[in-house]
């Protein structure tokens, strides 16, 4: 299970801390969803997920204002006893001193933000889904080619880094070399990043380590990129049949998500950078509704029908 420090959420969302006496360094967030405790304020705590960030908006605050003081204190005490990670008041709602004192006593941080409730919840959920996403690390090179994230895979020494370097010189951007950290942020989207220690570096056998950002400038690197296409490099085998039309898509799977995959045979004289560029452009064309292989197939079929 992955976690996010509450302190990181506070800094990211620029929250105002109303309980500065509490130490929040050890508080972790484990859930990607947040909760508006409307039912809990009404006294219904069945199925209450206390691990979520709790958000108070205008509706909850207005309900709290209509409660009798003793009843309101009892409900908030019961809510705080669940040791929720924190409570965030949206729309610059002023937090009453009595509630601040109670929360401090119970050890639950209180924060405030000026953002609208729905917008704040959407932003927090989106951010947490990335931070808490399932992830794996694989051996490969990830490059942004014409806006498409191309993951180049293959055995060590086959030429992945050299292909990436040529792509960088042709104006494309490096995301990571050697190790790719893949996060599953949704059932359709995989995001690739570089480990902090190797970010912006490429290893070239016989030369050593190259700092891409320093040599080619900041326009040649990128920190994150969705993985749209996988290219697997392999040694040329003259006895193996390779796909020459591309009518049927091949896929590979990461964390349950399928990604279009091409197997590219390598032999002396083949320009890997141009092949990767062509694969990326062809994939982009298919996303826009044009399939060159299908067009050729239709032309041949129509020509045969005319002859008959």
Binding site for ATP: which residues?
154-161
Tell me, yes or no, if 228 is annotated catalytic: no
CB atoms within 10 A of CB 114: 11
CB 7 within 8 A of CB 26: no
- Cβ–Cβ < 8 Å for 149, 225: yes
3-state secondary structure 44-102: CCCCCCCCCEEEECHHHHHHHHHCCHHHHHHHHHHHHCCCCCCEEECCCCCCCHHHHHH
Among 52, 115, 160, 222, the active-site one is 160
Answer yes or no: are the C-beta atoms of 46 and 72 closer than 8 Å: no
Residues ≥6 apart with Cβ < 8 Å to 288: none
Rounded Cα distance between 32 and 132, Å, is 7
Check: CB of residue 168 under 8 Å from CB of residue 201: no
Residue ranges for the binding site for Mg(2+)?
161, 203
CA 152 to CA 164: how far, in whole Å?
A: 8
The two structure tokens encoding residue 127 = 């951010």
- Residue 282, token pair as written in the block: 């062809």
Given the residues 178, 213, 232, 286, select the one marked as catalytic.
Answer: 178
Is 66 among the residues known to form the active site? no
Is there a catalytic annotation at residue 287? no
Q: Which two tokens stand for residue 197?
A: 């220690």
294 in Cβ contact with 247 (< 8 Å): yes
Is 160 an annotated catalytic residue?
A: yes
Which segments are annotated as binding site? 154-161, 203
Which residue out of 83, 139, 258, 270 is catalytically annotated? 139
Catalytic residue among 66, 238, 244, 306: 244
Residues annotated catalytic, as ranges: 139, 160, 178, 244
């Amino acid at each position: 299970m992955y976690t996010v420090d509450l302190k990181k959420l506070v800094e990211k969302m620029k929250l105002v801390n109303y309980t500065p006496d509490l130490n929040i360094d050890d508080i972790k967030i484990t859930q990607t969803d947040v909760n508006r405790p409307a039912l809990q304020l009404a006294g219904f705590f069945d199925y209450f997920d206390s691990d979520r960030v709790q958000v108070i908006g205008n509706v909850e605050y207005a309900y709290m204002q209509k409660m009798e003081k003793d009843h309101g204190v009892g409900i908030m005490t019961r809510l705080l006893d669940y040791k929720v990670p924190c409570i965030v008041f949206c729309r610059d709602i002023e937090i009453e001193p009595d509630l601040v004192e109670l929360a401090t006593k119970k050890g639950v941080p209180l924060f405030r933000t000026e953002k609208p409730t729905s917008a704040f919840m959407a932003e927090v959920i989106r951010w947490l889904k990335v931070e808490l996403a399932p992830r794996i690390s694989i051996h490969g090179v990830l490059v942004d080619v014409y806006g498409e994230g191309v993951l180049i895979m293959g055995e060590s020494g086959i030429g992945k880094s050299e292909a990436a370097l040529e792509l960088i010189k042709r104006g494309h951007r490096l995301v990571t070399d050697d190790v790719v950290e893949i996060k599953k942020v949704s059932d359709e989207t995989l995001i690739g990043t570089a480990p902090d220690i190797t970010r912006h570096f490429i290893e070239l056998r016989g030369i050593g380590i190259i700092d891409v950002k320093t040599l080619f400038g900041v326009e040649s690197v990128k920190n994150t990129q969705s993985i749209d296409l996988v290219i697997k490099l392999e040694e040329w085998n003259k006895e193996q049949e390779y796909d020459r039309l591309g009518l049927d898509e091949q896929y590979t799977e990461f964390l349950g998500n399928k990604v279009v995959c091409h197997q590219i045979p390598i032999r002396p004289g083949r320009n890997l950078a141009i092949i990767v560029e062509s694969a990326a452009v062809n994939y982009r064309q298919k996303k826009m509704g044009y399939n060159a292989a299908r067009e050729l197939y239709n032309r041949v079929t129509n020509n045969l029908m005319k002859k008959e």
